[in-house]
Structure 1
Amino acid sequence: MAVYFDHRIEAPDSSDVPFQLTWHSSLPILAVASSSPATGGKVDLYLQQGEHVESCHVVRPHQPTGLRWHPTKPVLAVGWDNGEVVLLTHPPGDQTVLPGVHTTTIKLLEWSSFGSRLVTGDESGALAVWKVDARGRLHGNHLVKHEYKKPLTCCIFRPSTPGDDVAMLARASVRGDERALDKFSWKGAPLKMGPQEGLGFFICTADGKVHSVDEYCKTSVLLSVEGSIKKLLYIEKTEALAVITENLMLSQYALGPEGGAQEIMKGKLSSKSGQNVDVVWTEDGLLITASGEQVIRLWDLERDDNYVLSLDETLGYERGEMINCVSYCAGKEILAAGTTNGRIAMWRMVVQSGSSRGDTKPQWKLQTPTEIGGNVTQLQSK
C-alpha cells in the first residue's frame, strides 16, 4: 500500500495567487507561476518538501504565460505576456533572456526529447527555434523564425528513434545481408550507435492547421481540421497523430513515410457543455478527460473503446462532487483527479491474475480520498 505525504509550499508572499505549476520530469524541483496586483507576475522554485529556493525568484511587471522544464537539466523556460522568454537555472538562479523575437503573448514552449532545441511561439503566429548546448545553455541566436500569421496553440516533437543494433547488423553481415554489409562499409550511411534525438516537430495554429517542421526547420502544412486545435498527440506505436479541437472533435491520422497524413478515425468526445476540459494522454494510448462532471472519461484509442470512472460515496466522497482536473503517473500506474470539494481521488490500475497489460482492458480500483481542502483546479504527477 502506498503512503503519500503533503507539504505546504513556503511561498515568500502569501498574497500571491498561484495559477500554474510543473514538476521537473527527473529532478525534485517544482516551478510555480503566480500573480499579485501589487507586484505583477512571479515564478518561484520549490524543493520536494516545499522549501522555497530563494535564488530562483523571478519577478516581472507582466504575467507569466508558460512554464516548461528542460527534459534532463535543471533549466526552466518561462514565457511572459509581453513576449519575453527567460531561461532560469537551478540552483544559482541565473536568468538568460532570449533575444527579442516575440512581441506578443508567449503561447507555447517546447523542448526536444534530449533538450538540444527549444521552440517558442506567440499569439501573433511567430515561431522561433533555438539551439541549446549540453549544459542547457543558449547557443547563439535563433536557428530560424517562421511567421504563421495565426495564434499558435500547441507543439509536439517527434520522439527520439532507436540507434542501430550493431550486434544484429554484424550477424546479418556474416550471413551475407547486403544492406547490413553496406552499413559497415564506407559507402553506407554511418552507424547510429544510440538513440537519435527527434528534431522534427508539429505545430498547430488557431485556424485548425497542423504544420510539420523537419530537422532542418523547413515547414509545410500537414493537415487541416475545423476549429482551433486544443491538443496534439503522437501515437508512437502506430506512428499516427491524434488531434483534439476546441469543440472536442477527436481525429486520428496515419502519417506517410514521405510526408502527408490520412484520416483514419473521427469522433466527438463527450463532455459537460460550457466547462473547461482537462486532457491527459498516456504512453499506453489512453486519453483521459475531466470536464466538471462527476466522472472522468477514458478513451482507449488502440482498442477503439471508451468508458468512465466515477466517485463512490461509500469511500468518503460526497453526492454531487465534481471532478475538475486529472493527472496520470505512469511509473506507479495511478490516475489522480482533483474535485470541487477539495479531495484528491486516486485510481490504481489492477491487472487480473493470469492476464497481462497487453491483452486485457485496464481495471481501475478507486482508493479512499486525500483531503486537502479548497477547490482543486490543477494536478501534476511527479
Structure 2
Amino acid sequence: MERVRVLVVDDSALVRKLMSTMLTCDPEIEVVGTAPDPFIAREKIKQLNPDVLTLDVEMPRMDGLTFLENLMRLRPMPVVMVSTLTTAGADVTLRALELGAVDFYAKPNADLAASFGDSAQELCAKVKHAALTRPKARTTVRPLEVAPRLTADAVLPRSQAPGSRGGSPIIAIGASTGGTEAVRVVLEMMPPDAPSILVTQHIPAAFSGPFAARMDRCSAMRVCEASDGQPIQQGTAYIAPGSHHLLAMWDGAKFVCRLHDGPPVNRHRPSVDVLFRSLAATAGASTIGALLTGMGDDGARGLLELRQAGAATLVQDEASSVVWGMPGAAWKLGAAPEMLPIDHIADRLLALAHHPHHGAKRA
C-alpha cells in the first residue's frame, strides 16, 4: 500500500522530532524528511516530492506565509499549517487558509505525555485528508479508524415534534476543514439586512474570536462570537465559540443563543449536529440549513433532522469543497435536495429566506 509522504518544516528541532514521531505512528504515513526553514524546504520538495507539507509560520530567513504564497503560485500542493493557539497565531493561520493551506494543527509542545495518542491521531487524520485534496485522488488513503462517538443526544434530546415558531427566518451553517474560507465567501455576499445567521465552524477556542472579528471586517452584516443569552437578530451572524456548542432556543418572545459545555459530539465541540437539532426543535420550517466543506460527517444527521422538520436545506458541492466529507455524508443521507458550488450558496440562502419553498417532511 502506498503511503502518504510528508515533509515536516519547522525551525524547532524538538517540534520536528515530535511531529515526525506522531506521524510515523500511522503505518499509512511516511515522513520523508524535515527542514528547519523554507529555503531548505524548497530544495527538499524538489528532491523528495512529498505529498503533503506540514508548515510552521515563524521561521528564520523567510516566514511561513511568504513561503506558502510562493509555493501555491509555483508548485501547489497540500499544506497543513502548524499554529500556536494564541490570538496572533489565529490571525496568521486564518491568513494561511486564505492563501491555500488545506487545514491547521495546534503546535505540539514538550508536555505531550497525557495527550500524545489523541494529538497524533488528529495530526495523522488531517495529513491523510490533506493528501486527498490533490488533483489526482489517492484512492489508497483510508479514513483514520476511530472509537465510537457521542451523538447530539449527549447534549440535546431529539424533540418528538418539530418546532413551529413563526417569525423571521434563521439561516444555520455548519463547516469544518476549508470552512473558514467557505464561510467567508458566504458572509461576504450577504447584505447588511440579511436574516440572522448561526455558524458552527470546527475551530479551536483561541481561534473563534479572531475568526469572528475577521468575518466582521469582510461582511456587510455584523458578525460576532456568540455569547450565552444573546438575542438572535436580523443582520447579525453569530459564530460558535470554539469551546462550546451553540444552540438556538426560544426565550418567551424571541430566539436567543445558548452555549453548552457538554461533551464533544462527533468528536467536536462545537458540533454542527447540536446546532441543527436545536433549530429543528424550535424554529423548524423557519430555518434554512447549509452544510459546507468539512472532514467527517458532523452535521449530516442534523441536517436531515432539519429537513424532516420542514426546513429548507442544501449542501456545498464536491468540486468547490476542500473536503467533501460532511456535505457528502448529508447528501448520501438525503438530508438536502440541493447541492451548489460555494459561490452560489449565499444567493440561494437569501432566495429561500425571502421565498420559502420547503419540501415535504420525510419519515
TM-score by length of 1: 0.28
Would you tell me which structure has more helix in proportion to its own residues?
2
Would you tell me which structure has more strand in proportion to its own residues?
1
TM-score by length of 2: 0.29
Work out which of the two has the higher radius of gyration on C-alpha atoms and give 1 or 2.
Answer: 1
